[in-house]
Amino acid sequence: MTQELNITNIPCTAVEFGDLAADLLKMGKQVRFRATGSSMHPLVRDGDTLLITPCQPFSIRPGEILLCAGAQQCVVVHRVIRCKGSRNNRQFLIQGDQVPWPDGWIDASRIYGRLEEIERDGKRFNTTGPFRLLGLLIVMARRLGLRHSKAAALLSAWLKKLPAFSGYLDQENS
């Protein structure tokens, strides 16, 4: 019988959190933590609780959101914009949705895990399924230079009306 370990409110620095999260995810455990910052707004907001699960680098695709080691030993939850390399030697270009430039290419060794679920105001949203489509749309808009265009605003308004996103994206001001 396996025991679940549920420890909450561990005070630590960002570097300590990155090390702890990396170790737990390498052991096949999930990590749940409270997000800080606004680089992934509106999908991930300051105060959201994120569930990160282990993942294999060969399974990562553009549009997915990863917990990874960024520059200067910081830990970020950012979107994969592009992938390159072979199955066993992949690199990923990551970027926050509200950041105008990519973080740069990172090696698979700097990937800790994949964002699986977002919890906000007692509601949980799985980031697979329809949210995978949303991620791909964000990547395509960025590649086509449509990030702040009228077309992007119209698409955003349309997406908020879809049942799959309405319960999540309409909480814009929360």
Q: Is residue 23 part of a domain?
A: yes
pLDDT tens digits along 44-74 = 889 999 999 999 999 999 889 999 998 776 8
Q: CATH number, domain at 121?
A: 2.10.109.10
Q: Is residue 155 part of a domain?
A: no
Q: Is residue 109 part of a domain?
A: yes
Q: Is residue 137 part of a domain?
A: no
Based on the structure, what is the number of domains in the chain?
Answer: 1
Q: Is residue 82 part of a domain?
A: yes
Q: Is residue 32 part of a domain?
A: yes
pLDDT tens digits along 71-112 = 776 899 999 999 999 888 899 999 998 888 899 999 999 999
Please write down the HEC assignment for all residues of 42-69.
CCCCCCCEEEEECCCHHHCCCCCEEEEE
Q: Is residue 22 part of a domain?
A: yes
The whole domain housing 51 covers 14-127
Q: Is residue 152 part of a domain?
A: no
